[in-house]
Amino acid sequence: MVIRPLPGKQTCKELDTLIDLRDIKTVLPFKGERVTAMKVGELWRMPFRLTIGHTESLGATPVDDLHVSLTFNGTEQGAATLTVYRLSESELRFRFRVDRVEIRTRGARLVQTIPGVEFAALGTDILSKFVSKEIAKQLRRYTEASLGYSRARSQGKRVVLEYIVDPRDPVQAQSVADALHGDFQKLVKMGWRLGTQQATDASTEETYRELQAAHDAELGAARFAAINAYTEKARSTTLNLPFLTSQNWASLTADDTMTRYTDVQGQIHFQRADKSRQSEYFNIPWVGPLVKDQAQRDVQVVTAAKAGEAYGDPIVIYLQQHGFLRATEGSVRDKAQQFSEIMALAGTRGGGPNPRMALPLSAALPEPPAPVRSWDDDRRGGEPANRKGAMAFTLVFNQEAVKQLTAATSDDIIRSYAATVDSIPAMKWLMENGRLNGRTGEVEYDWRAARKAFPDPFNDRGAGQRSWEEGRSRAWRARCPA
């Protein structure tokens, strides 16, 4: 594949160039003068991909209009890619990359067809003549309710080798052409071995180091060289009720180790865990959902080690992201307020919120107007729900902060948790009246005393009376936040 920049800035004016089939450029043949003649922004890409997969499924219909299915899927993929990209008049990037990934997926799905919504009863002949395939697709979509669950595990390896050369130099340009000719054959073989599991970690690294040494002699030292090994585990649950709602809950954990062979040699290790939820409500055909809400929480840990040394202290990154469509002003402000409350606790060491660290929300999200009451009843008027947008919050714990976190005692954790806005009264009472069980890591306290301190206004049995949960044990235990 050859991608060439067009001289103009407006696409419509370049249509004559696009339809001129006389001006076609290919990657082959590999010659030094053709490398030198590349325009700035021009890209050559030569991919090779091999995929081997299998799928097994079982299905049953226990009752009319109800279908249950189980699916098992396995995929192994090997890919090798050569790219040449003209960065500037004096710089050309030559890169090869080999990927191998193995994916295993298991899933279950329950589908209930709703026969009461049979739009096709309007007349088969009419539908076949006047209703398009898209309309038929929408009708099928809105006559099924489904519940699904899936788990996937993937592991793979990626190798990258990159050089920067001067294409104006005939010797370097010819070296790139020679490397392209030889590497294409080698990468096809490497992609085949990786895709068919004929390559081990040791053989992959050995072949990679041999290729790097040969290119270093012709093209100079590599600008970037690395091998990346990774694993991922994912879970997903979906629920779909026609017209009403569509829900998706997902979680992912990932582990990634990159070994570098250039500059400061060594390893960089990444770990990641995230949870997300996407909600849609009142889904109308061709219009889409009227209300959407998407939230994701992500924690990432990064640490590095120089060659032959132990890993250093990690850095932790915490992210929250929210996207919404037709959300009320109050709900948007509540989400932002959560971020502000987190920041107000930064650096306080359990001393309570620090207003100076809180986020300045009043400018971007002013307080909503006072509740409006209608003349005929005492109910509150609705808030406008016309907001569309997204917000993101990122909190980075540097190495010193991580040291303090890992060195925190149980008392430190309880004191810090007690400083959160929602837990201040209860946690202060616990610190005075409870005790930490060092063996189980739980906070123990007398439920009778807690009942008197925090009576339940909705319990008509009165304070001091145990609920059925409390009757299970004379000592009520709550797990420590640690």
- DSSP per residue over 76-138, as a string? EEEEEEEEEEE-SSS-EEEEEEEEEEEEEEEEEEEEEE-TT--GGGG-HHHHHHHS-HHHHHH
Q: Specify the pLDDT at position 196.
A: 53
Point out which residues pair with 325 in neighbouring strands.
292, 388
Q: Which two tokens stand for residue 18?
A: 């696009």
SS3 of 185-250: HHHHHHHHHHHCCCCCHHHHHHHHHHHHHHHHHHHCCCCEEEEEEEEEEEEEEEEEECCCEEEEEE
Whether 325 contacts 311, CB under 8 Å? no
Q: What is the pTM of this model?
A: 0.69
b/e map 108-142, b = 16+ CB within 10 Å:
ebebbbeeeeeeeeeeeeebeeebeeeeeeebeeb
Amino acid in position 118: E
3-state secondary structure of 352: coil
pLDDT at 371: 55
**Where does residue 276 fall: left (phi above 0), alpha (psi -120 to 50 degrees), or beta otherwise?**
beta
For residue 430, is it within any domain?
yes
CB 404 within 8 A of CB 412: no
Q: Which helix (H) or strand (E) holds 253?
A: strand 245-260
Q: Using alpha carbons, select from 289, 317, 325 the residue that is nearest to residue 398.
A: 317
Q: Is residue 425 part of a domain?
A: yes
Q: How far apart are CA 381 and CA 139, in angstroms?
A: 36
Name the phi and psi angles at 89, rounded to 5. -60, -30
CB 15 within 8 A of CB 55: no
Paired strand residues for 390: 323
Angle of helix 424-433 relative to helix 410-418, nearest 10 degrees, comes to 140
Is 157 part of any domain? Answer: no
- What is the C-alpha to C-alpha distance for residues 77 and 418, in angstroms, rounded to an integer? 51
Report the domain count for the chain: 1
- Judge whether 466 lies within some domain: yes
The answer to the question of residue 477 being in a domain is yes
- Percentages helix, strand, coil for the chain (3-state, rounded to 5) are 30, 40, 30
Half-sphere exposure of 126 (CA within 13 A, CB side): 5
Predicted pLDDT at 457: 56
- Burial environment of residue 150 by CB neighbours within 10 A (0 to 12, 13 to 18, 19 or more): middle
Decide: helix, strand or coil at residue 18: helix
φ, ψ at 439 (rounded to 5°): -80, -45
Tell me the two tokens of residue 420. Answer: 């959160």
Only one residue has tokens 């396995």, namely 74
What are the backbone dihedrals phi and psi of residue 366, each rounded to the nearest 5 degrees, phi first?
-65, 160
Pairing relationship of beta strands 43-63 and 66-86 according to DSSP bridges? antiparallel
Q: Could you give the C-alpha distances from 258 to 77, 183, 228, 262, 440, in angstroms and in order? A: 20, 23, 4, 12, 38
Q: Is residue 421 part of a domain?
A: yes
Which range marks the domain in which residue 421 is found? 408-482
Phi, psi of 467 (to 5 degrees): -80, 175
Give the pLDDT of the chain (482 residues) as one tens digit per residue: 898 887 766 777 777 777 777 778 888 888 889 999 999 999 999 887 778 888 999 999 888 888 899 999 998 887 778 899 999 999 999 888 888 788 899 999 988 877 644 444 444 454 455 555 656 666 666 778 889 999 999 988 888 888 898 899 888 888 888 877 766 566 556 555 555 555 556 666 677 777 777 777 777 788 888 888 899 999 999 999 888 899 999 999 999 999 888 877 899 999 999 999 999 998 887 778 889 999 999 999 999 998 888 898 899 999 999 999 988 877 888 888 888 888 888 777 767 777 888 888 877 777 766 655 555 444 445 566 667 888 899 999 999 989 888 888 877 777 777 766 555 677 677 777 877 777 776 778 888 888 888 776 555 444 444 443 343 333 334 443 33
